[in-house]
Amino acid sequence: MLIIYDSRTGNVERFINKLELSHVQKIKEELKVNEDFILITYTTGFGQVPETTTTFLNNNSEHLKAVAVSGNRNWGMSYGKAGDTISQQYEVPLLLKFELSGTKKDINTITQEVLRFDRNATEMD
């Protein structure tokens, strides 16, 4: 399963690097994806979806299968809220909210979810 990610401060990128997955791509302007993917992004401001993530999804949401999001628990109710927003807007599961660059448990959780999506995609072929 392709992993698409967005990172501003480096927390999500550090999380991605811990995953040791090979099929990963960072959001860049004009990126067009023609296969199913899991999005890993961050929450900005007071719980908003980053503008770069929104622009990407406006052009690629038809292949979005799930989302995971980084946040900071200091923001209380807004912690990881971008993930909630994306999940609701695109009707995909929110796999994980993780703080900053994540823990070993977070890495294990998302790795298992990616493997589950890969298995399900293979079974549907």
- Which structural domains are found in the chain, ordered by start? 2-124 (3.40.50.360)
Q: How far, in Å, are 7, 13, 110 from residue 28 at the CA level? A: 10, 13, 22
**pLDDT tens digits for 97-108?**
999 899 999 999
Burial of 65 (0-12, 13-18, 19+ CB in 10 A): middle
Mean pLDDT of 72-98: 93
Cα separation of 118 and 26, whole Å?
A: 20
Q: For the whole model, what pTM was predicted?
A: 0.92
Query: What proportion of the chain, given as a percentage, has pLDDT over 70?
Result: 96
**pLDDT tens digits for 39-77?**
999 999 889 999 999 999 999 999 999 999 999 888 888
Q: Token pair 């698409």 is at which residue? A: 4
Residues 41 and 50: beta-carbon distance below 8 Å: yes
User: Who's near 66: CB < 8 A, 6+ residues apart?
Assistant: 38, 39, 92, 93, 94, 95, 113, 117
Dihedral of alpha carbons 52, 54, 59, 63, sign: positive
